[in-house]
Chain A
């Protein structure tokens, strides 16, 4: 957390709050925010408890730069919220190469919520609802289909320690689901003790992995498509990738950088479906040989063009 070894409690809290705001998954756009937030939470758990801090200090000179200190699993409650970070979840492993989803468990949110708000024991006659979060690939919403989520569920063992158990769920992802939406799996939440009491539900919050080509905005998808200057100026038919395969796209003559072309209904499915937008970028051919240089010179001679005319110079 970047605090000195002799930092006061107030300094530690201040550092924690600052980093928590920076990396909170609901706020941050930082890469790996989720994992960083979890690490910060774990570090704070250690540092704010005198016993844990003492144990940590006794580890000798402490971790050297680049070396991470990992508290034993039963120290941190932090994972309950943020779970395993990207890459740490079993779903991200090579053995599940077909599934780009990775898992994150948020089980236990309910328990903490009630502690914070000072009310316990929601005896509704059924088991508590559980919450989890998964990262999906874009194909999941475009095509629908099944994905395997591996969730880690905290359990309390006979000695009262919190352990985690992995639980694999095969889920039919509803076509057209959007980032931030929730899949509800009825009856997959907590099982209450005793006969005849219904289990709670499991709510899976969905986020998407950034796609290398497409951006999502609501139900619409955006692609930046590079075109050559002559394709933009003269018009052309060019190939463009789309989620359903390459298409021939007609570029109108006189197109410019930032021109927006729409392929209706090729966005995220729904009724009506979203659209697919292509934003043109003008890519300049390099002038790295004599032929190219001659072509640029010929253009300079032929065209009385001042790109800075609108700037008054």
Chain B
């Protein structure tokens, strides 16, 4: 299907321009806010602003939330298990980089 130039969509790098609220994350992944809170309590997600009326997250939280929710769903891991898996994955990534570096 040929598209004209006018139909080009301009994308933005979400992580670099976004500050996410608790309700943003809840809406984006269609999980309830309590579940996002659980991810924060287990250290999967980090809140960058606590003083405001609603928790705020950096754009980078999007990726962590996405991976965490996928691991939960696909592998049947509970939240503490997801937190551990994410930490180990990051460590593995770091080691791979050092080995190749």
Contact = CB atoms under 8 A, between A and B. Distances in A.
Interface of A: 17, 20-21, 24, 26-27, 37, 41, 81, 109-114, 116-117, 119, 122, 124, 128-129, 131, 146, 148, 168-174, 176-177, 180-185, 188, 201, 203-205, 215, 217, 222
Contacts of B28: 110, 129, 131, 201, 203
A30 B97 CA distance: 17
Contact of B73 (A116, A170, A181): A116
Interface of B: 1, 3, 7-16, 18, 26-32, 35, 59, 62-63, 66-67, 69-76, 85, 89, 97, 100-101
Contact of B74 (A81, A146, A181, A182): A81
18 contacts: A21-B75, A24-B75, A27-B85, A112-B73, A113-B31, A122-B30, A129-B29, A131-B66, A169-B9, A171-B8, A171-B11, A173-B11, A174-B11, A181-B13, A181-B16, A183-B13, A184-B11, A217-B101
* CB-CB nearest 8 A-B residue pairs: A183-B11, A110-B30, A182-B14, A184-B14, A114-B30, A119-B32, A172-B10, A170-B8
Nearest to B72: A116
Contacts of B31: 113-114, 117, 119
A123 to B, nearest CB: 11
A182 B27 contact: no
